[in-house]
Structure 1
């Protein structure tokens, strides 16, 4: 069953990925970029890369996991399932797997990295970072000083007032669109390129990715959208080549935040934009987003996570820490077998569709 590819920890996920990589008959390159910090169990952390197929292939499929660390359980499972089946690549086509873009977050079961940076908001020009005045208005309510009924009720009233005044879309943009002023807050894009961004940029140069004729990228995420549905989110500009390829390859599953057809609103600093700039009109980047619950529940578990991150040891009861951590884990990687089976099945389907699309170019 596909659920066997879901591992209980980053350490085990990495171990299983490396074991599967070691026996690939068409492996032509492998790399591990070691993170300067250790993981939650004292284990080494790394961005692991695996290249299958010809190194000089003109067409390439990239599959990324753990851009948001804790979401790596699903992405790693898809990659492991892929490596554990007979894989025939089309002619002149290669496959690049990037396992654990944010290994620190994966190991510590947080969406952000060791500096509190959301990697998927980090790809901006830091000489002139985007502004998000809405987040500043909501910052204290989003990460309250106390996590009790009275404090949460007061904070929620402020959030709801903003939503009623400005509308649902403006509210979601303020909260999740990306912000660069509150390091302790949600969806913080940082003040400089993160470790993960630097590694990706270095890999792209080393592997000559900008010289490829066509590149498809699938970035596996969880936590937003309809339960067990893998939404194919395309943040390319409307009517661009990337959108045309996505719709041709993935069909009606494709949604576009810029057109309001997605569960996601437009965001700042997405990792997508790195690929868009690297390969203008020669790439198709999609976020494969597996839904787990409502947007309100997503915001709730993230607020709790950031609340805990601001507290010193002993300030929060072990029972509350355990409760909030369990809620976070269950939101981003539900334990239900049916959800996990759906992730692997749909993940492999989208990979097959991408390879077929590349082959037909």
Structure 2
């Protein structure tokens, strides 16, 4: 099953579209990003629908909300297309391939403006404040990446962790911030291209009128290695949580209850769907673990530091190491990991489709 995994965005999209063509969709559209890849190629969010366009029950499978994490989601989507069974009556599936195509193509988690799409879904009339991040911002991305500067920065982070505890430290770093454009987990100050495009897709397809919608957003980088954690950010005891537990069983974890590897976050794409379908959706993040949270933070720190540097005179060996470390964390070359991703991804898709029949 590792054959479904590609080496770059261009290849991943080509594989996906070849599978789409063979499966004969009911509808498809390609939304072109205003920028191009580093090689001058088009960047596209592809939306593909299978089943009755008027179906009242819908499963949405999203990939590359965090660009570089798109390899796993794309592979799962392509694998499903190869193995897709006949959909039940009044049920459809919508595949959204490369929610953040710029990040996918450029091997970064953020988009072209440095925005983390999964922190971008807030009401921009009043931006949330992230006091913890402001305290740590200079240590998270120091001016220099030399050993002495890193040692000093790491001590600041360690002191904060010791003083406040691991969970509050993780919330301070990753829950979302809106004041440091070059920083980690930056949510932006306006809706991103991806957010606007998703809203347009939802409007064009009249998704708000559906009876029940399940959403699976595929991510990598957090949690136990090769385990696809089913993270549910719906409010505790809500309809979305109840559906998730009924469909996915004991695998469901809840950040708001402290049972997840993920802490509560601001501006998640989940909240778009919850607002669109407040009483008719079940959103889960299918998060495949690749390494420790500490390593996750460290590779992102390095990536954001690198993005802020002028390329002229930059140490090429250091640059290549930072880029490779980032890719390795979010996209392991381990065939066993890739096999596990496909197997678990297909199981969750089948569970969601079966669950929709119970609604």
TM over 0.5: yes
Question: Could you say which residue in structure 2 is the equivalent of 1:328?
Answer: 326
Question: Could you say which residue in structure 1 is the equivalent of 2:214?
Answer: 216
Question: Could you say which residue in structure 2 is the equivalent of 1:260?
Answer: 258
Mapped to 1, the partners of 2:288 and 2:81 lie a distance apart of 21
Over the aligned positions, Cα root-mean-square deviation in angstroms equals 0.7
Mapped to 1, the partners of 2:295 and 2:199 lie a distance apart of 33
Question: Could you say which residue in structure 2 is the equivalent of 1:308?
Answer: 306
Question: Could you say which residue in structure 2 is the equivalent of 1:287?
Answer: 285
What whole-Å deviation, never above 9, does each CA across 1:237-292 have from its counterpart, x for those lacking one?
00000000000000010000000000000000000000000001200000000000
Question: Could you say which residue in structure 2 is the equivalent of 1:41?
Answer: 39
Task: Say if 1:91 and 1:359, in contact at 8 Å, map to a contact too.
Answer: no
Task: Say if 1:176 and 1:267, in contact at 8 Å, map to a contact too.
Answer: yes
Mapped to 1, the partners of 2:13 and 2:138 lie a distance apart of 37
Secondary structure of the residue aligned to 2:271 is: helix
Question: Could you say which residue in structure 2 is the equivalent of 1:337?
Answer: 335
Mapped to 2, the partners of 1:150 and 1:282 lie a distance apart of 53
Residue 41 of structure 1: how far off its partner (Å): 1.9
Secondary structure of the residue aligned to 1:301 is: helix
Residue 64 of structure 1: how far off its partner (Å): 0.1
Mapped to 2, the partners of 1:265 and 1:140 lie a distance apart of 22
Mapped to 2, the partners of 1:295 and 1:281 lie a distance apart of 33
Poorly superposed stretches of 4+, deviation over 2 Å: none
Question: Could you say which residue in structure 2 is the equivalent of 1:7?
Answer: 6
For structure 1, list consecutive stretches of 5 or more residues without a partner in the other structure.
none
Single out whichever of 251-260 and 309-318 deviates more from structure 2: 309-318
Question: Could you say which residue in structure 2 is the equivalent of 1:154?
Answer: 152
Paired residues, number: 359
For structure 2, list consecutive stretches of 5 or more residues without a partner in the other structure.
none
Matches within 5 A, 1:18-167: 18-25=17-24, 27-167=25-165
What is the TM-score when the length of structure 1 is the normalising length? 0.99
Question: Could you say which residue in structure 2 is the equivalent of 1:269?
Answer: 267
Mapped to 1, the partners of 2:231 and 2:43 lie a distance apart of 29
What is the TM-score when the length of structure 2 is the normalising length? 0.99
Residue 314 of structure 1: how far off its partner (Å): 2.3
Secondary structure of the residue aligned to 2:26 is: strand
Mapped to 2, the partners of 1:201 and 1:165 lie a distance apart of 41
Q: 1:85 to 1:38 in 2, by over 3 A?
A: same
